[in-house]
């Protein structure tokens, strides 16, 4: 007998699906399952079902004074089963962060900042003495299941006078630690975006890919994607949204889509201020923005499930597949107008909203 059986659900393509869960694992997936279960959730053909949503760029170390939030308030309560904190902590404080995550319902992982105190100390890459490879190596060895990659913020306000050097150090740390995933934040120059992308390799994640800054992917004089950006995209650099307070621009995203450049993954860069006051609010709102830009719901769901799971080697997450973790998001898509605002105050009107109804984490069901 299964623990839970979800009946009469829909995949995002509209096809019928039923899913059985047992002991925190997906045990069966089919168009119809007629075996008994202790609990049956009948969606009556009204709700969609997907693998649990993954937000691969958040800030949820609650002891940080500015860029902080609470995992369950941006996770399970918002239809998100897994969050990845993107470099809030470094080797000196990531153990404390890990201990805090043990008491939450949402799955929490971390990208460790290459600077030893992370962004808790601002301008963290302006002082290269804070990048200590031995401390990174020690933390990785101690928390291999929690730390799923490293993070380097490559913008003027962070690196100070150090230019591209912190990224070169990050690439060195990456190569000496089993080529673990690397996420790179971009912003104002220096360093120039071309310097950053030239050093990034296939599988490296470029976050804030659709920011509206002069040092972004769009040549503001010609309104075209810069040539070197295409080179990076074609070699397999992962383009991640990382919406944030100041890093998502409708025009850049729309222009990129028309040119054939799509974001590979969708994330929020959420923390308590841009969750409470906007423009981020939650992952669902960010998904709605990509829908307005012109992405299909099918590819949107893939970009918050299978894609981030693959990018960060979450081997048992991101798919409705037998043997995978019983992390699922149940949601509805409703026709309703909603004003959406990007990071620069530009608005678009959505015709559809995506509304999480229930979040299932490790087989445990939570109502939204």
Task: Report how far residue 290's alpha carbon sits from residue 279's, in angstroms, rounded to the nearest whole number.
Answer: 14
Paired residues of 354 in beta bridges? 333
- Is 251 annotated to bind a ligand? Reply is no
Does 151 show up as a binding residue in the annotation? yes
Q: What is d(CA 35, CA 22) in angstroms, rounded to the nearest whole number? A: 12
DSSP state of 164: T
243 among annotated binding-site residues: no
On whether 185 is known to bind a ligand per the annotation, the reply is: yes
Q: Which runs of E-coded beta strand occur in 72-223?
A: 80-86, 107-113, 147-154, 182-186, 205-207, 218-219
Q: Looking at 91-181, which runs of residues are DSSP E strands?
A: 107-113, 147-154
d(CA 10, CA 18): 8
Burial of 139 (0-12, 13-18, 19+ CB in 10 A): buried
Does 313 show up as a binding residue in the annotation?
no
Q: Please tell me the distance from the alpha carbon of residue 206 to that of residue 239, in angstroms, as a whole number.
A: 5
| Alpha carbon distance 29, 5 (integer Å) | 10
Look up tokens 């070169």; give the residue. 168
Binding site residues, as ranges?
Answer: 57, 59, 151, 185, 208, 269
Binding site residues for Zn(2+), as ranges?
Answer: 57, 59, 151, 185, 208, 269
């Amino acid at each position: 007998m299964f623990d839970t059986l979800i009946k009469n659900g829909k995949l995002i393509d509209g096809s019928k699906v039923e899913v059985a869960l047992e002991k925190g694992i997906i045990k069966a997936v089919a168009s119809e399952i007629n075996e008994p279960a202790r609990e049956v959730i009948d969606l009556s053909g009204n709700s969609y079902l997907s693998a649990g949503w993954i937000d691969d760029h958040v800030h949820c170390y609650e002891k940080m004074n500015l860029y902080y939030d609470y995992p369950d308030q941006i996770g399970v309560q918002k239809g998100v089963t897994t969050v990845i904190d993107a470099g809030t902590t470094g080797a000196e404080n990531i153990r404390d962060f890990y201990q805090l995550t043990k008491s939450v319902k949402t799955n929490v992982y971390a990208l460790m900042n290459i600077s030893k105190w992370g962004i808790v100390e601002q301008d963290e890459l302006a002082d290269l003495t804070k990048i200590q490879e031995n401390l990174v190596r020690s933390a990785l060895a101690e928390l291999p299941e929690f730390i799923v990659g490293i993070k380097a913020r490559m913008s003027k306000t962070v690196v100070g006078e150090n230019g591209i050097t912190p990224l070169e150090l990050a690439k060195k740390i990456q190569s000496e630690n089993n080529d673990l995933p690397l996420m790179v934040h971009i912003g104002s120059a220096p360093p120039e975006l071309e310097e950053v992308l030239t050093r990034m390799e296939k599988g490296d994640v470029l976050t804030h890919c659709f920011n509206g800054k002069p040092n972004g992917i769009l040549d503001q004089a010609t309104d075209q994607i810069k040539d070197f950006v295409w080179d990076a995209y074609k070699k397999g650099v992962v383009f991640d949204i990382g919406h944030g307070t100041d890093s998502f621009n409708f025009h850049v995203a729309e222009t990129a889509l028309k040119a054939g450049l799509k974001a590979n993954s969708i994330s929020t860069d959420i923390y308590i201020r841009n969750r409470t006051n906007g423009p981020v609010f939650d992952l669902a709102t960010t998904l709605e923005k990509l829908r307005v830009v012109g992405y299909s719901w099918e590819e949107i769901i893939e970009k918050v499930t299978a894609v981030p799971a693959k990018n960060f080697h979450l081997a048992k997450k991101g798919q409705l597949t037998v043997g995978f973790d019983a992390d699922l998001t149940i949601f509805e898509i409703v026709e309703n107008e909603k004003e959406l605002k990007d990071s620069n105050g530009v608005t678009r009107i959505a015709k559809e909203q995506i509304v999480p109804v229930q979040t299932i984490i490790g087989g445990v069901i939570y109502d939204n």
